[in-house]
């Protein structure tokens, strides 16, 4: 595996790569969730690039950009072990040279849910992803379902900008106790981690309810919120049942997605589950 910092160098290598190029965009601090994406890419593609870049432009004022975990050597060892061909770790100065002012935005879909709480977040995500897609000319890009709205936004951008690219959404990876893997789980105290388990419990309960025939969106949302409130969160940003493509409020729980964002003292967590 090569570790490369310069975007132009990755472009050059990719322009000579044979077969399908697979990209796994990450912000590093890799966990099993990320590694499942790398494995999927390795399985579906001929040439696999993992990008490791804590993108400053997707963090708002007062968010955790400075404290976001950075463990480049550990990330490199994990990528190497999973058989990635390139680990692309650019600097912010290389990604955003002085005077940088080009932004891509998916309006509407980014104004709700996460976008409502984190106003510039998705503009940063779509811009950096488009740059990474262009640098690598990947034919497939792999994203975790954990950031459900992010995948919706990237898919809409890809389609509307006519990018010749498949966005592959991979299932959420959870700890044995149900907590969705996240680099931000490291922020939690032991007590918070215990309390946070109610989020995944709420997710699983919602799926079981739909499996058992419940179709009432309000009932699902109410039950999930009640479960989450048991953990005495600092705030619940949303617990809502949505259409899995448009993210508009769902009318029928079957075929929808339940999404939640919950704050504790030291962390803000998101989770979701597809309801069949």
Residues of this chain that bind a second copy (CB under 8 A): 7, 11, 15, 97, 99-109, 126-127, 130-131, 134-135, 137, 156-157, 160-164
Q: How far is the CB of 119 from a second copy (least distance, A)?
A: 16
> How many angstroms separate the CA atoms of 14 and 272, rounded?
34
Determine the Cα–Cα distance for residues 11 and 88; give it in Å rounded to an integer: 11
Q: Catalytic: 34? A: yes
Residues linked to residue 140 through DSSP beta bridges, in sequence order: 22, 166
What would the DSSP string read from start to end of 237-259?
EEEEEE-TTT-PBPSSSTTEEEE
Name, in order, each residue with C-beta under 8 angstroms of 206's C-beta and a sequence gap of 6 or more: 220, 223, 224, 241, 253, 258, 273, 275
Residues 6+ apart with CB under 8 A from 71: 28, 29
Please state the closest distance from residue 112 (CB atom) to a second copy, in A: 12
From the list 50, 10, 45, 2, the residue with the least C-alpha distance to 27 is: 50
The nearer residue to a second copy, 165 or 260, going by C-beta atoms, is 165
Catalytic hit among 16, 31, 34, 57: 34
Find the shortest distance in angstroms from Cβ 25 to a second copy: 14
Instruction: Name the token pair of 49.
Output: 């690039």
Closest separation in Å from C-beta 203 to a second copy: 28
DSSP codes joined into one string, 128-163: HHHHHHHHHT-SEEEEETTSHHHHHHHHHHHHHTT-
Minimal distance in Å, beta carbon 200 to a second copy? 32
Instruction: Name the residue nearer to a second copy (CB basis): 100 or 204.
Output: 100
Give the integer Cα–Cα distance in Å for 79 and 82.
Answer: 5
CB closer to a second copy out of 109 and 198: 109
- Of the two residues 160 and 265, which places its CB atom closer to a second copy in the complex? 160
Residue 26 or 127 having the CB closest to a second copy: 127
Mind telling me the catalytic residues? 34
């Amino acid at each position: 595996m090569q570790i490369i910092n310069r975007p132009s160098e990755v472009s050059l290598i990719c322009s000579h790569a044979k077969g399908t190029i697979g990209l796994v965009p990450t912000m590093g601090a890799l966990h099993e969730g990320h590694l499942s994406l790398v494995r999927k890419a390795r399985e579906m593609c001929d040439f696999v690039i993992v990008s490791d870049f804590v993108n400053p432009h997707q963090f708002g004022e007062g968010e955790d950009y400075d404290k976001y975990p950075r463990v480049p050597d550990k990330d490199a060892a994990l990528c190497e072990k999973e058989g990635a061909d390139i680990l692309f770790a650019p600097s912010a100065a290389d990604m955003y040279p002085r005077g940088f002012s080009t932004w891509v935005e998916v309006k509407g879909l980014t104004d709700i849910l996460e976008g409502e709480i984190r106003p510039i977040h998705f503009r940063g995500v779509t811009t950096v992803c488009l740059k990474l897609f262009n640098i690598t000319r990947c034919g497939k890009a792999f994203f975790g379902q954990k950031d459900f709205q992010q995948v919706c936004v990237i898919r809409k951008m890809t389609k509307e900008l006519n990018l010749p690219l498949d966005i592959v959404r991979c299932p959420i990876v959870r700890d044995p106790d149900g907590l969705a893997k996240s680099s931000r789980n490291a922020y939690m105290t032991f007590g918070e981690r215990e309390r946070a388990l109610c989020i995944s419990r709420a997710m699983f309960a919602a799926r079981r309810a739909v499996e058992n025939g419940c179709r009432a969106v309000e009932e699902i949302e109410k039950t999930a919120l009640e479960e989450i409130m048991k953990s005495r969160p600092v705030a619940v940003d949303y617990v809502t049942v949505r259409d899995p493509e448009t993210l508009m409020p769902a009318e029928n729980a079957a075929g929808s997605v339940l999404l939640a964002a919950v704050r504790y003292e030291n962390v803000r967590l998101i989770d979701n589950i597809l309801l069949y």
